[in-house]
């Protein structure tokens, strides 16, 4: 093997020899031609553009239009208030997502700062960015590989490729094999020649594939879009109808247009946008406290809508650390509850290993091959003697598939069973034991000994062995995974394991944690149908295991399941997971062990890498969906009460005065209503949250609309208009006459108070869709009592502070007005209780406070 890339020649090209590497001038020339060895970084949108996007989505545009109409209608105060709402909400959403997104942008950590090369015949350190094609790279245990390399010479080399392939066990490459950028050396040494750098590496190709995968709109974005379209359509239709009605009543077109604009603005729920954003942000903070970092706010609710979770195996369902779980000897299996019985076996295994468990940062960490680290851990626990005089060492190589040492007059050997058993003669029961351990998904090593042989090659001395043990190892499941899987099943969520590992190992883990379904299906990537429709139909079942998958396979799996209507959550930690994480509805990356490519592509990052954390996040997501319905009901009920005075005025032909002004409507939307709505967004998940499938329908369904427009809204509106009319009548007003300004202000203040007090009761009624207020635990949502107290104080401020009262057009009600307005509380509670008692379509999966 030479160090000369195809097309180059020695001498004039600047290549000295395979051993001497490139000359410095030639390396500089190639660097100038091919550019630095850096991964392509996705260009970030300018910060002003990111901020602008939060100001121009559909609902924000609706509010901008409302502000413009308010300005045209001669209500600059209303216009300014709406603009402030849009700006504050957009800024808040931008800050939340920018901070989370910034935390995941560290792709360059996959490339080391310096690398050891040989140039001009000398060993030297160069910056990884300066590596070029044809460089001779010198690799040792612990090195992260910084370019695609062709191996020229290997010595017991083991490379961990899990970040690229998902395979948890290090590979043992041979000469002329390729080692890829982003992987790292766990054992041995090697010399290799660079074949690709920067954007031409396999790592860069996967990162490019990740960025090419388009992130689909979230379910929440689609649902809110429909809500906004309905609200906007109703507002425009009603505004247009009012304008036509004013013309029929003989009102001047200019005055009619201004009134119609006011009605249109009044029907836009200005408080809905900040309520949604703040509710999602609070849920994101709660998730972060429970080890789930949300990078995109809408991902909070999307997790709750998940119907299919595709989980990686290594590090997600398992601990990503090998453990010795079984030892078979010719005399029978050992009881590992007494580790001392394995001391001699472990001593032999560790003598011919290089992986070790070492002290670090007040604890321990593994260095080298994870299987050898597991052997050393058990040896330490067993009290095995590690001192030995090693006279000869025969390192592992892929051809022999074993390693050995001569120490203290004995040859100690370990390796793959099929490479050791033939050299050990007939061992009764060994073949059967090996078969049983392999069927259970264990990785098996054979340990053997013999008297110290004469000097010779490995093949000459590794014969005439005595088998002393078969050692079974596994990457054990994480604690709590089995319970988490059971919870997912109870929630109607289908599960699939998608891994780059061996199908036998994947099946064994799936069986152990209870993931494999009643109709087991275990496939490899090569067995997947080429047609996406057929692929989706095949995988659309619970408990599927797909092994030996490629990044393209995972991308197709996510796409095909989404094509069948599933809301897909895809977990992963490796570079190979990036494209699928972005394609899925919700990408879930590992924070502790995951790569930056995966975190870059994900919507949610699990800070503890635990599958059970996903279940917690799903529960919070479902609670968030229920909470959005709660405060949507709350806001829309208020809109019914706000619209009623305009309808009464129109139907009466203007003979009944307007009970509320447009500015009073705005004070209700973003003043008194906002805090109770936010408190409803903090309603905790209850015991029924994870029972049954997720509610993935429209936010505005018939049940919600019936409750708003048929029960809660009319209850408030009736009391509101009755109180308004009563105060007018008590003040001497007669039908058709124009009331005095003082009387109208008092009556309008009474109507305003009735709506606020009705909303106070409505806040408690909206906590549940099935249980009336009296059956709800008062302290399970500690924010709501404080919110309604503040709402009551704001009512007094809006009506009792003269400058503000004059601006809004209301005044403090008389005692009779307060009494009438207070009837809104029992009216709303009573109507809600009767409605819930008569309901026959109670929602099985509703979130109810515990």
List all residues 6 or more positions away from 220 whose beta carbon is below 8 Å from its beta carbon. Answer: 298, 301, 302, 305, 625, 628
Contacts 24+ apart (CB under 8 A), 785-790: 786/679, 787/675, 787/676, 787/678, 787/679, 787/763, 788/676, 788/760, 788/763, 788/764, 790/675
Which of 658, 650, 740 shows the shortest CA–CA distance to 251?
650
The CA distance from 52 to 214, in Å, is 21
Query: Whose structure tokens read 């600047």?
Result: 14
Answer for the pair 602, 579: CB distance below 8 angstroms, yes or no.
no
Answer for the pair 784, 676: CB distance below 8 angstroms, yes or no.
yes
3-state DSSP call for residue 667?
A: helix
Which of 611, 577, 614, 608 shows the shortest CA–CA distance to 593?
608
Q: At what angle do helices 551-563 and 532-539 cross, to 10 degrees?
A: 80
Answer for the pair 287, 300: CB distance below 8 angstroms, yes or no.
yes
Cα atoms in the 13 Å half-sphere on the side-chain side of 391: 11
Choosing from 135, 148, 312, 501, the catalytic residue is: 312
List all residues 6 or more positions away from 754 whose beta carbon is below 8 Å from its beta carbon. Answer: 716, 719, 720, 723, 724, 820, 821, 823, 824
The CA distance from 68 to 36, in Å, is 52
Residue 588 DSSP class: E
List all residues 6 or more positions away from 44 whose beta carbon is below 8 Å from its beta carbon. Answer: 105
418 in active site: no
3-state DSSP call for residue 603?
A: coil
Answer for the pair 458, 465: CB distance below 8 angstroms, yes or no.
no
Q: At what angle do helices 815-822 and 713-730 cross, to 10 degrees?
A: 160
The CA distance from 682 to 79, in Å, is 30
Q: What are phi and psi of 603, to 5 degrees?
A: -90, -30
Q: In what order do the strands lie in the sheet with 308-311?
A: 292-294, 604-606, 586-590, 568-572, 308-311, 494-498, 544-547, 521-524
**What residues form DSSP beta bridges with 339?**
none
3-state helix, strand, coil in the chain (%, to 5): 50, 15, 35
What are the angstrom distances between the C-alpha of 184 and each of 180, 189, 401, 468? 9, 12, 20, 33
Tell me which residues are annotated as active site. 312
């Amino acid at each position: 093997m030479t160090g000369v890339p195809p097309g180059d020649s020695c001498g004039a090209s600047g290549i000295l020899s395979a051993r001497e590497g490139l000359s410095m001038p030639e390396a500089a020339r190639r660097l100038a031609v091919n550019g630095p060895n850096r991964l392509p970084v996705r260009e970030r949108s300018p910060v002003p553009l990111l901020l602008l996007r939060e100001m121009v989505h559909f609902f924000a545009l609706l509010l901008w239009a409302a502000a413009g109409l308010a300005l045209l209608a001669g209500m600059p105060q209303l216009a300014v208030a709406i603009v402030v709402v849009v700006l504050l909400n957009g800024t808040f959403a931008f800050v939340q997502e920018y901070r989370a997104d910034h935390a995941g942008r560290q792709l360059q950590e996959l490339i080391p700062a310096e690398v050891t090369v040989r140039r001009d015949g000398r060993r030297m350190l160069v910056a990884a960015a300066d590596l070029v094609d044809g460089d001779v790279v010198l690799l040792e245990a612990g090195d992260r590989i910084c370019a695609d390399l062709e191996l020229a010479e290997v010595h017991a080399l083991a490379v961990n490729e899990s970040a690229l392939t998902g395979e948890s066990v290090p590979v043992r490459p041979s000469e002329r094999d390729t080692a890829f950028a982003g992987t790292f050396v766990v054992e041995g040494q090697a010399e290799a020649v660079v074949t690709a750098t920067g954007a031409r590496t396999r790592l860069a190709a996967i990162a490019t594939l990740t960025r090419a995968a388009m992130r689909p709109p979230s379910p929440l974005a689609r649902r809110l879009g429909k809500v906004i379209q309905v609200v906007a359509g109703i507002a425009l239709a009603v505004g247009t109808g009012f304008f036509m009605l004013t013309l029929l009543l003989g009102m001047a077109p200019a005055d009619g247009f201004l009134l119609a604009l006011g009605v249109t603005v009044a029907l836009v729920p200005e408080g809905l946008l900040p309520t949604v954003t703040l509710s999602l942000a609070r849920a994101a903070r709660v998730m972060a406290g429970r080890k789930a970092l949300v990078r995109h706010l809408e991902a909070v609710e999307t997790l709750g809508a998940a119907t299919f979770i595709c989980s990686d195996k290594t590090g997600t369902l398992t601990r990503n650390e090998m453990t010795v779980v079984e030892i078979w000897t010719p005399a029978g299996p050992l009881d590992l509850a007494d580790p001392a019985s394995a001391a001699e076996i472990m001593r032999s295994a560790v003598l011919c290993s290089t992986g070790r468990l070492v002290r670090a940062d007040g604890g321990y960490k593994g260095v080298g091959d994870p299987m050898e680290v597991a052997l050393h851990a058990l040896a330490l626990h067993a009290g095995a003697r590690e001192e030995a005089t090693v006279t000869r060492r025969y390192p592992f190589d892929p051809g022999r598939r074993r390693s050995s040492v001569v120490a203290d007059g004995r040859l100690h050997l370990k390796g793959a069973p099929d490479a050791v058993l033939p050299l050990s003669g007939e061992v009764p029961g060994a073949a059967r034991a090996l078969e049983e351990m392999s069927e259970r998904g264990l990785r098996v090593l054979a340990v053997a000994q013999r008297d110290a042989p004469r000097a010779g090659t490995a093949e000459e001395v590794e014969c005439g062995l005595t088998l002393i043990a078969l050692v079974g190892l596994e990457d054990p499941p994480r604690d709590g995974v089995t319970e988490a899987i059971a919870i997912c099943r109870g929630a109607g969520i289908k599960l699939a394991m998608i891994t780059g590992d061996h199908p036998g190992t994947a099946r064994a883990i799936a069986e152990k944690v209870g993931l494999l379904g009643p109709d087991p299906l275990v496939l490899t990537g090569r067995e997947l149908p080429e047609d996406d429709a057929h692929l989706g139909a095949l995988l659309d079942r619970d408990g599927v295991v797909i092994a030996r998958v490629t990044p393209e396979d995972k991308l197709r799996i996510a796409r095909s399941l989404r094509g069948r209507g599933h809301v897909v959550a895809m977990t992963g930690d490796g570079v190979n997971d990036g494209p699928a994480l972005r394609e899925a509805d919700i990408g879930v990356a590992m924070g502790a062990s995951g790569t930056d490519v995966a975190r870059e592509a994900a919507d949610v990052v699990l800070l503890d890498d635990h599958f059970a954390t996903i279940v917690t996040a799903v529960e919070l997501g479902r609670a968030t969906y229920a909470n959005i319905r709660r405060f949507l009901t709350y806001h829309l009920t208020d809109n019914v009460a706000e619209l009623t005075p305009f309808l009464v005025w129109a139907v009466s032909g203007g003979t009944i005065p307007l009970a509320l002004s447009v500015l009073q409507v705005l004070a209700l939307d973003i003043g008194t209503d906002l805090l109770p709505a936010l408190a409803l967004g903090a309603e905790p998940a209850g015991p029924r949250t994870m029972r049954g499938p997720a509610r993935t329908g429209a936010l505005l369904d018939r049940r919600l609309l019936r409750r708003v427009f048929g029960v809660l809204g009319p209850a408030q509106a009736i009391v509101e208009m009755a109180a308004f009319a009563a105060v007018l009548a008590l003040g001497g007003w007669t039908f058709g006459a124009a009331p005095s300004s003082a009387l109208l202000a008092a009556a309008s203040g009474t109507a305003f108070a009735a709506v606020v007090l009705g909303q106070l009761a409505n806040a408690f009624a909206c906590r549940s869709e099935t249980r009336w207020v009296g059956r709800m635990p008062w302290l399970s949502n500690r924010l709501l009592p404080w919110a309604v107290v503040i709402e009551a104080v704001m009512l007094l401020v809006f009506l009792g502070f003269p400058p503000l009262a004059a601006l809004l057009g209301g005044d403090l009600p008389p005692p009779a007005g307060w009494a009438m307005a207070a009837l809104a509380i029992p009216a709303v509670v009573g109507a809600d209780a009767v409605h819930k008692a008569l309901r026959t379509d109670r929602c099985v999966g509703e979130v109810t406070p515990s």
